[in-house]
Amino acid sequence: MKSRNLTLLLDLYELTMANGFFEEAPQKRGYFDLYFRKIPDKGGLVIYAGLAQVIQYLNELHFSESDLDYLKKLEIFSPNFLEYLRTFKFECDVWSVEEGTPVFPNEPLITVRGPLVQVQLLETMLLNIVNHESLIATKARRICMVARGRSVMEFGSRRAQGADAATYGARAAVIGGCSGTANVLSAKLFGLKPLGTMAHSWIQSFSSEKEAFMAWKKIYPHNCLLLVDTYDVLHSGVLNALEVFKQLKEEGIQSNLGIRIDSGDITYLTKQARRMLDDAGFKDATITVSNALDEDVIQNVLEEGASIDSFGVGEKLITASSDPVLSGVYKLVATQENGEIIPKIKLSNTVEKTTIPGFKNLYRLYDDDGQARGDLLTLDGEKMRHNSQLFNADPNKTYQKKKLRGLQLKPLRVQVFAKGKLVYQEPETMEIQRTSQAKLATLPAACLRLKNPDIYDVYWTRQLKELRTQMIEQYSE
Amino acid sequence: MKSRNLTLLLDLYELTMANGFFEEAPQKRGYFDLYFRKIPDKGGLVIYAGLAQVIQYLNELHFSESDLDYLKKLEIFSPNFLEYLRTFKFECDVWSVEEGTPVFPNEPLITVRGPLVQVQLLETMLLNIVNHESLIATKARRICMVARGRSVMEFGSRRAQGADAATYGARAAVIGGCSGTANVLSAKLFGLKPLGTMAHSWIQSFSSEKEAFMAWKKIYPHNCLLLVDTYDVLHSGVLNALEVFKQLKEEGIQSNLGIRIDSGDITYLTKQARRMLDDAGFKDATITVSNALDEDVIQNVLEEGASIDSFGVGEKLITASSDPVLSGVYKLVATQENGEIIPKIKLSNTVEKTTIPGFKNLYRLYDDDGQARGDLLTLDGEKMRHNSQLFNADPNKTYQKKKLRGLQLKPLRVQVFAKGKLVYQEPETMEIQRTSQAKLATLPAACLRLKNPDIYDVYWTRQLKELRTQMIEQYSE
């Protein structure tokens, strides 16, 4: 079995900076926020995912002797720093949103506090994991939404960008709403439902389609989901499938009957196939389709009246191919020296891309009906009162203000590590899917829609707003 | 250290079929071809990559006790099949194109021969690896081509789709022409050049940009590539960098001097910065840019006269975001029973998507000047003669024929495994990059271009062409 250590999976500059912090100011502490600015596919929300893998990564952080030998050979780092890495002990505090939560631009999904030399080293992997899994969960949410209750199965491993993209992508797809995955490793690791029956090669390996189906029936009499498009769906595949189904019926064998179509005009073929199955008395036989599907194709074929029970979705889900990057960033928002927190800012050409300074908290605001009415960013330690004034953080909505009165404030984040020790218990993946659906149900419907969704309101407090304005002025001089 | 076994990273149907083959026809052997049909980004070629990881995967294939326990619990597989998996011994023959080779649609990049029960199991991971790495190598070739000799550095780990996408994506990017990567793990594993100096957080963590640069100079006097866009490139960053450069000069310290710009109008900023550096006597100081770059942006800014020495390319390379899927497939092309090879076909609505039956060989045709004049597919065992007639395999060019006379035939593939035993030695990654460049230089210039490239000619023999035509007719009845 192959061993694996991802500690060196970081950008070289994390190490050159860490070495610099170590040499220059070993006591200095920092706060980093992980957040994104733009929602993929111009959607209304992102489904946050990846925390389980972040935890695993942080728990396993260590530099092996082979890593240290390699770093030494680069002749960049001081011997003291390399010795520090040899005895590296993770001692940061980490706060995070829980997986499956719908989140919005500029919200600090993760905050890490600790020695600068440590928090800096985490940047690459924290971003890699969260950017990837949140991207796929977000895409899956879109696809499952248009499937309107039909099962959506994740089938994309062969087109995923590497083994991790397949393994953790399948997990993220389930968090986003998929009913299961073809990927057996993911199913095993995360308690997901493994799905699939046969490919074209099964049929081809026999001298005829009928022979292939009959051989299948012999081996799997209780699970006859037959792939019917190897030669001709309606003139061969469905007819041969019906022969099998009839024999099973005659033999009195209870079986999951169904067909899968992987090519051609889905709407036409499924309508015709449905009629053929119904006419032969197999109203319970299911129809699965699986050819280059995404939310647009699924919406279209359902509107055209296609008769489909479940979807197998491949490359367009597992790579989020229509917009394959969630551009999360990990930015220094404060340092801490002699106990004092000093907010930090990075300016940009646009106000939107300028960072939000300070150590912050994140809340969701609920009304009496349990509906979410916006999110709130505060500076840590701020006391919130009923008449606290909230300001919309969107630079296009600065006129919009709100009082806290009548709203309930629920923290969106939990502490995950305290001084390097894990203090959070991750739920099971299927449980995350369930709570995710529940959280989605509290959001305004207009921000759930796929085209031109409403922008969900994110507010900040007067104190945070003023801190940022003042820092922008200070550094723009 | 975390152990890792990718044997279960397969689609469930590979296992249900393998169980079926085992029960139905344990002696039957099959031939599978791995190939793609469409070049990403409407390009003229794909750079084949991933073989090293395919070899590693095949060498490590085994089902652990925990895997077998899991499979048993699914209650799908026969006890005999599970016992077969427990003692699984890889015994296939594998032929492959060598990494870095430019390849074209419908060419069998990999052929696997062996017991159906084994060859079927490999589908998911072989496709996953080759689809991913070839995609990234192909994208890197495009980006490096427009950079016209300037260094292109792979900087995308944080936006890659998981850890493998970062690790093997960096390797593939180097095969495609990148000069190095920020990813330290990839650099260590594959002997690549690790690159990078500082991020904005370094500058932010000090009370001023100048202080941050001076601290850097103290720690890394010989390597002062300073990031100059934290506050204002021209009015702060470059001015402060020049202070550092002047001090180093005065102190007589030899140093790699340079600046990096990560935001804003690249053309304007690099032109101005170049002038400021030159005017101050630092003509050797380099300018690196690194903001949302791809082949289009690089081509544009160079045409606009931007002054750039090297590019750091991130998410658009590491995800191939403009077209993030190479749709390779793995298809049964023949079975073998009692020593006889029986070609197999899968039909489709379009002639292009119909498979090419039979156990085949792949050659590149060279003229006397060493220029490639096309590729050739033959059936295994065919004798080629000078007057052998070759037919263009492109369904839009069936009129085009050619004699072999005057052309040299070189096999494009090597045997990698013989009866399960590795018989091929992989070159080092940097060596693959060099041979890749040499192979590209033999291709017609018109198929190298990025927009509207010519379609490279792929031929087949009369025997192969006729076999396919006859099988299509046979199965279309």
Q: Do B200 and A331 touch (CB under 8 A)?
A: yes
**pLDDT classification of B3: cutoffs 50, 70, 90:** confident
Q: Which residue of B has its CA nearest to A70?
A: B188
Nearest CB neighbour to A2, from listed B3, B15, B32: B3
Reported as a single tens digit per residue, the pLDDT across A231-257 is 999 999 999 999 999 999 999 999 999
Torsion angle of the four alpha carbons B426, B428, B431, B437, in this order, in degrees rounded to the nearest 10: 70
Distance from CA of A441 to the nearest CA of B (A): 28
Q: What is the 3-state secondary structure (H, E, C) of A189-234?
A: HHCCCECCCCCHHHHHCCCCHHHHHHHHHHHCCCEEEEECCCCCHH
Reported as a single tens digit per residue, the pLDDT across A270-283 is 999 999 999 999 99
Strands B46-47 and B408-411: unpaired
Residues A263, A383 within the same domain: no
Residues B300, B380 within the same domain: no
Structure tokens at B250: 């005065």
Residues A236, A329 within the same domain: no
In a domain, B159, yes or no: no
What per-residue confidence (pLDDT) applies to B477? 65
Residues A275, A329 within the same domain: no
CATH number for the domain harbouring residue B398: 3.20.140.10
In this structure, the number of other CB atoms found within 10 A of the CB of residue B348 comes to 16
Q: What percent of chain A has pLDDT above 90? A: 92
Cα A333 to Cα A54, A454, B230: the distances in Å are 20, 29, 13
Tally the domains of chain A: 2
What per-residue confidence (pLDDT) applies to A477? 65
Q: Do B161 and A17 touch (CB under 8 A)?
A: no
Domain limit, last residue, from B250, B277, B308: B308
Domain that holds residue B35: 12-136+324-476
Residues B290, B329 within the same domain: no
User: Measured between beta carbons, which residues in chain B are less than 8 angstroms from residue A216?
Assistant: 20
Q: Do A328 and B158 touch (CB under 8 A)?
A: yes
> CA triplet A155, A160, A161: central angle to 5 degrees?
175
SS3 label, residue B331:
strand
Domain limit, last residue, from A284, A308, A332: A308
Q: Which residue of B has its CA nearest to A125?
A: B158
What letter does residue A394 receive in the DSSP assignment? S
Q: Do A4 and B1 touch (CB under 8 A)?
A: yes
CATH number for the domain harbouring residue B300: 3.20.20.70
In a domain, A314, yes or no: no
Residues A70, A126 within the same domain: yes
Distance from CA of B386 to the nearest CA of A (A): 36
Q: Do A162 and B23 touch (CB under 8 A)?
A: no
pLDDT of residue B1 exceeding 50, the answer is no
In a domain, A425, yes or no: yes
pLDDT of residue A80 exceeding 50, the answer is yes
What per-residue confidence (pLDDT) applies to B164? 98
Distance from CA of A105 to the nearest CA of B (A): 17
What letter does residue B161 receive in the DSSP assignment? S
Taking residues A215-235, report their average pLDDT. Answer: 95
User: Measured between beta carbons, which residues in chain A are less than 8 angstroms from residue B76?
Assistant: 220, 223
Domain limit, last residue, from A308, A340, A370: A308
Closest C-alpha to A39, from A117, A105, A113: A105
Residues A471, A330 within the same domain: yes
10 Å CB burial of residue A59 (0-12, 13-18, 19+) is middle
Structure tokens at A101: 């939560």
What is chain A's mean pLDDT, rounded? 96
pLDDT of residue A398 exceeding 90, the answer is no
Q: Do B23 and A219 touch (CB under 8 A)?
A: yes
In a domain, B448, yes or no: yes
Q: Do A155 and B11 touch (CB under 8 A)?
A: yes
What per-residue confidence (pLDDT) applies to B353? 80
| Residue A151, beta-bridge partner list | A310
pLDDT of residue A1 exceeding 50, the answer is no
Residues A253, A346 within the same domain: no
| Residue B227, beta-bridge partner list | B260
In a domain, B153, yes or no: no
Nearest CB neighbour to A9, from listed B76, B183, B219: B183
Q: Do B158 and A11 touch (CB under 8 A)?
A: yes
User: Measured between beta carbons, which residues in chain A are less than 8 angstroms from residue B167?
Assistant: 9, 162
Sheet containing B286-289: which strands, arranged edge to edge?
Answer: B180-181, B151-154, B310-313, B286-289, B256-261, B223-227
Reported as a single tens digit per residue, the pLDDT across A147-161 is 999 999 999 999 999
In a domain, B42, yes or no: yes
Reported as a single tens digit per residue, the pLDDT across B362-382 is 999 999 999 999 999 999 999
Q: Are A242 and A277 in contact (CB under 8 A)?
A: yes
Task: Count how many pairs of residues, chain A against chain B, have C-beta atoms within 8 Å.
Answer: 328
What is chain B's mean pLDDT, rounded? 96
In a domain, A154, yes or no: no
pLDDT of residue A2 exceeding 70, the answer is no
Residues A258, A377 within the same domain: no
Residues B292, B328 within the same domain: no
**pLDDT classification of A166: cutoffs 50, 70, 90:** very high
User: Measured between beta carbons, which residues in chain A are less than 8 angstroms from residue B30?
Assistant: 201, 205
Taking residues B176-201, report their average pLDDT. Answer: 96
Reported as a single tens digit per residue, the pLDDT across B256-294 is 999 999 999 999 999 999 999 999 999 999 999 998 899
Q: Do A2 and B5 touch (CB under 8 A)?
A: yes
Residues A337, A437 within the same domain: yes
Residues B219, B346 within the same domain: no
Taking residues A103-121, report their average pLDDT. Answer: 97
Distance CA A188, CA A205 (A): 29
In a domain, A400, yes or no: yes
Cα A79 to Cα A71, B108, B185: the distances in Å are 10, 51, 20
Distance from CA of A240 to the nearest CA of B (A): 15
